[in-house]
Structure 1
Amino acid sequence: MFGTAGTVVTGVLIAGALAAPSANASAGTAQSVPGGAAEAKGVKIAAERAAKAGVKWQDCPADWALEKPIQCGWVTVPLDYAKPDGRKIKIAVDRARATGTKAQRQGSLIYNPGGPGGSGMRFPKRVTTKNPLWTKTAEAYDFVGFDPRGVGHSTPISCVDPQDFVKAPKLDPVPDSEADKSVQRKLARQYADGCKKRSGWMLPHMTTPNTARDIDVIRAALGDKKLNYLGVSYGTYIGGVYATLFPTHVRRLIVDSVVNPSKEKIWYQANLDQDVAFEMRWNDWKKWLAKNDAAYHIGDTPAKVQKQWEKLRATAKKKPIGGVVGPAELLGFFQSAPYYDSAWTTVAEAWSAYLAGDEKPLIEAAAPDMTDLAGNIASENSNAVYTAVECADAKWPTSWKKWDRDNTELHKKYPFLTWSNAWMNLPCATWGAKQHTPLEVKAGKNIKPILIVQATRDAATPYEGAVELHKRIKGSRLITEKNAGSHGVTGLVNPCINDRVDAYLLKGKVDAKDVTCAPHATPKPATK
Structure 2
Amino acid sequence: MRTRTARHAAVVAALLLTLGAPDVAAAPAPPPPDAAGTADAESAGAALVARRAALAAASRGGGASGLDFGACPAVEDLPSRVRCATLRVPLDYARPDGPQIFLTVSRAAATGARGAARQGALVQNPGGPGASGMHFPLVADLPGWERIAAAYDLVGYAPRGVGRSAPLSCRDPAARATGPVQEPVRPSPAYKMQRLAQARAYARGCARRAGAALPYYTTPNNARDLHVLRAALGEEKLTFLGASYGTYLGAVYATLYPRHVRRMVLDSAVDPDPRRVWYRNNLDQARGFEGRWRDFRAWVARHHSVYGLGTTPEAVQAGYERVRDAVARTPAGGTVGTGELRSAYLQAAYYDDVWPDRAAALAAFLRGDPSVLAAQAAPDPAAAAGAENATAVYTAVLCNDAPWPADWGTWDRDNTELARTAPFETWANAFLNLPCASWAVRAGRSPVAVGAQPERLPRTLVVAAERDGATPYAGAQELQRRLGAGASLVTETGAGSHGVVGGRNGCVDRHVERYLLTGGRPGGAGPPGAADYRALRAPRRWFVAPRLVAVHGEDVGSEESALGVS
TM-score, normalised to structure 1, is 0.92
Query: What is the alpha-carbon distance in structure 2 between the residues aligned to residue 471 and residue 378 of structure 1?
Result: 36
CA contact (8 A) 2:103 2:157 kept: yes
- Are 1:208 and 2:226 an aligned pair? no
Post-superposition offset of 1:270 = 0.2
The residue identity in structure 1 corresponding to 2:388 is: E
Query: What is the alpha-carbon distance in structure 1 between the residues aligned to residue 352 and residue 538 of structure 2?
Result: 10
CA contact (8 A) 2:25 2:55 kept: no
C-alpha distance after superposition, 1:189-232 (max 9, x if no partner): 11111111111332200100111111111111111111010000
The residue identity in structure 2 corresponding to 1:408 is: T
| Worse-matched range after superposition: 41-50 or 203-212 | 41-50
* Matched pairs, number: 510
Q: Match for 1:524 among 538, 542, 545?
A: 542
CA contact (8 A) 1:157 1:384 kept: yes
Query: What is the alpha-carbon distance in structure 2 between the residues aligned to residue 519 and residue 382 of structure 1?
Result: 37
Aligned position for 2:503: 492
Query: What is the alpha-carbon distance in structure 2 between the residues aligned to residue 165 and residue 455 of structure 1?
Result: 35
CA contact (8 A) 1:354 1:361 kept: yes
- Cα 1:280/1:192, change in 2 over 3 Å: same
The residue identity in structure 2 corresponding to 1:250 is: V
C-alpha distance after superposition, 1:354-405 (max 9, x if no partner): 22322222112211123x2xx2110110011111110000110011110000
What aligned pairs does 1:34-433 form with structure 2 within 5 A after superposition? 34=35, 35-51=47-63, 53-100=65-112, 104-127=117-140, 130-165=141-176, 167-172=178-183, 174-370=185-381, 372=382, 375-433=383-441
Secondary structure (helix, strand or coil) at the match of 2:464 reads: strand
C-alpha distance after superposition, 1:269-297 (max 9, x if no partner): 00000011111111111111011112222
| Worse-matched range after superposition: 271-280 or 95-104 | 95-104
| Worse-matched range after superposition: 88-97 or 492-501 | 492-501
C-alpha distance after superposition, 1:105-138 (max 9, x if no partner): 10110001110101111111111xx211211100
CA contact (8 A) 2:203 2:438 kept: yes
C-alpha distance after superposition, 1:31-54 (max 9, x if no partner): 243244532342233223322643
CA contact (8 A) 1:483 1:518 kept: no
| Worse-matched range after superposition: 349-358 or 257-266 | 349-358
Query: What is the alpha-carbon distance in structure 1 between the residues aligned to residue 186 and residue 13 of structure 2?
Result: 30
Post-superposition offset of 1:521 = 4.8
Query: What is the alpha-carbon distance in structure 2 between the residues aligned to residue 70 and residue 281 of structure 1?
Result: 37
Q: Match for 1:461 among 468, 471, 491?
A: 471
CA contact (8 A) 1:479 1:514 kept: no
Aligned position for 2:483: 473
Post-superposition offset of 1:522 = 5.5
Query: What is the alpha-carbon distance in structure 1 between the residues aligned to residue 419 and residue 238 of structure 2?
Result: 42
Query: What is the alpha-carbon distance in structure 2 between the residues aligned to residue 477 and residue 525 of structure 1?
Result: 29
Query: What is the alpha-carbon distance in structure 2 between the residues aligned to residue 148 and residue 431 of structure 1?
Result: 21
- Are 1:33 and 2:44 an aligned pair? no
- Cα 1:22/1:485, change in 2 over 3 Å: same
CA contact (8 A) 2:34 2:448 kept: yes
- Cα 1:316/1:518, change in 2 over 3 Å: farther
Query: What is the alpha-carbon distance in structure 1 between the residues aligned to residue 412 and residue 540 of structure 2?
Result: 37
Post-superposition offset of 1:97 = 1.0
| Worse-matched range after superposition: 408-417 or 172-181 | 172-181
Secondary structure (helix, strand or coil) at the match of 2:34 reads: coil
CA contact (8 A) 1:30 1:40 kept: no
Query: What is the alpha-carbon distance in structure 1 between the residues aligned to residue 352 and residue 454 of structure 2?
Result: 36
Query: What is the alpha-carbon distance in structure 1 between the residues aligned to residue 116 and residue 427 of structure 2?
Result: 54
The residue identity in structure 2 corresponding to 1:40 is: R
The residue identity in structure 2 corresponding to 1:427 is: P
The residue identity in structure 1 corresponding to 2:95 is: K
CA contact (8 A) 1:27 1:43 kept: no
Post-superposition offset of 1:525 = 5.0
Post-superposition offset of 1:446 = 3.3
- Are 1:440 and 2:440 an aligned pair? no
Secondary structure (helix, strand or coil) at the match of 1:502 reads: helix
Query: What is the alpha-carbon distance in structure 1 between the residues aligned to residue 507 and residue 279 of structure 2?
Result: 34
Post-superposition offset of 1:25 = 4.0
C-alpha distance after superposition, 1:144-193 (max 9, x if no partner): 11000000010111111112236232240644421111111111111111
Query: What is the alpha-carbon distance in structure 2 between the residues aligned to residue 78 and residue 252 of structure 1?
Result: 26
Query: What is the alpha-carbon distance in structure 2 between the residues aligned to residue 61 and residue 514 of structure 1?
Result: 48
Query: What is the alpha-carbon distance in structure 2 between the residues aligned to residue 269 and residue 517 of structure 1?
Result: 31
- Are 1:16 and 2:26 an aligned pair? no
CA contact (8 A) 2:320 2:362 kept: no
Aligned position for 2:44: none
Post-superposition offset of 1:103 = 5.7
Aligned position for 1:482: 493
The residue identity in structure 2 corresponding to 1:230 is: L
- Cα 1:166/1:121, change in 2 over 3 Å: farther
Post-superposition offset of 1:251 = 0.6
Identity of aligned residues (%): 45
Segments of 5+ residues of structure 2 without an aligned counterpart are 1-10, 36-46, 525-530, 545-566
Secondary structure (helix, strand or coil) at the match of 2:241 reads: strand
Q: Higher RCO, 1 or 2 (CA under 8 Å, sep at least 6)?
A: 1
Post-superposition offset of 1:479 = 0.9
Post-superposition offset of 1:421 = 0.2
The residue identity in structure 2 corresponding to 1:483 is: G
CA contact (8 A) 1:89 1:155 kept: yes
The residue identity in structure 2 corresponding to 1:284 is: D
| Worse-matched range after superposition: 333-342 or 356-365 | 356-365
Secondary structure (helix, strand or coil) at the match of 1:230 reads: strand
